[in-house]
Structure 1
């Protein structure tokens, strides 16, 4: 398998599509629908990228982003935030994510941004 991507998205349809697309591109994807399950995942430090939704049923992706960036084992792993409601400007003021993608998004744009973030880590 390829690089590891952790996906936090509560919308089942969106999560399944993103997982399918990234898996087809040979990424190893770990999908979560809520903050509780994501935070219980013990392999966070070995991921190559985080893809986080902002609005979640049990918390905020912005809070998760902040937690990851303040943790020694995950702070250097790139984070892409996704939202239909927030903007890039809001992201820059609330968390230190490397990238933002607005929903609805173009699949090719998503893949391009994922590839860009992963290539920066090489």
Structure 2
């Protein structure tokens, strides 16, 4: 994957998580875009076309499920893998309901963040 393709969007209303994830991913060579709400999500994602999206369940205003379903319903954006993340104990079913490719339970180990991104991107490349 070229540097131009290594773009990720993180949707989370927790500034600490945005800051930590951004730092870790930037160290891995990613260009990171962060949003604290999912308003106008189709235009935001269309303007960046990331390799992967991290989506929080409790993101304002519509919430992660509706935001993910909106992306998956858009023909231009539906193939961008979404990693759903939440502290909710039912995260697997939430991620499935949203249509996300996979999920990551909070709190997560930073190694797990890298592993889940790499795993979802390998599936896309296959």
TM over 0.5: yes
Where structure 1 has 5 or more consecutive residues not aligned to the other structure, the ranges are none
Distance 1:60 1:10 in 2: 11
Distance 1:26 1:90 in 2: 30
Q: Alpha carbon RMSD of aligned pairs, Å?
A: 1.6
Distance 1:22 1:105 in 2: 14
Distance 1:38 1:25 in 2: 25
Where structure 2 has 5 or more consecutive residues not aligned to the other structure, the ranges are none
Match of 1:81 among 71, 79, 84: 84
TM (norm. structure 2) is 0.87
Structure 1 residue 110: Cα displacement? 1.1
Structure 1 residue 90: Cα displacement? 2.8
TM (norm. structure 1) is 0.89
> Which residue matches 2:70?
67
Distance 2:86 2:60 in 1: 14
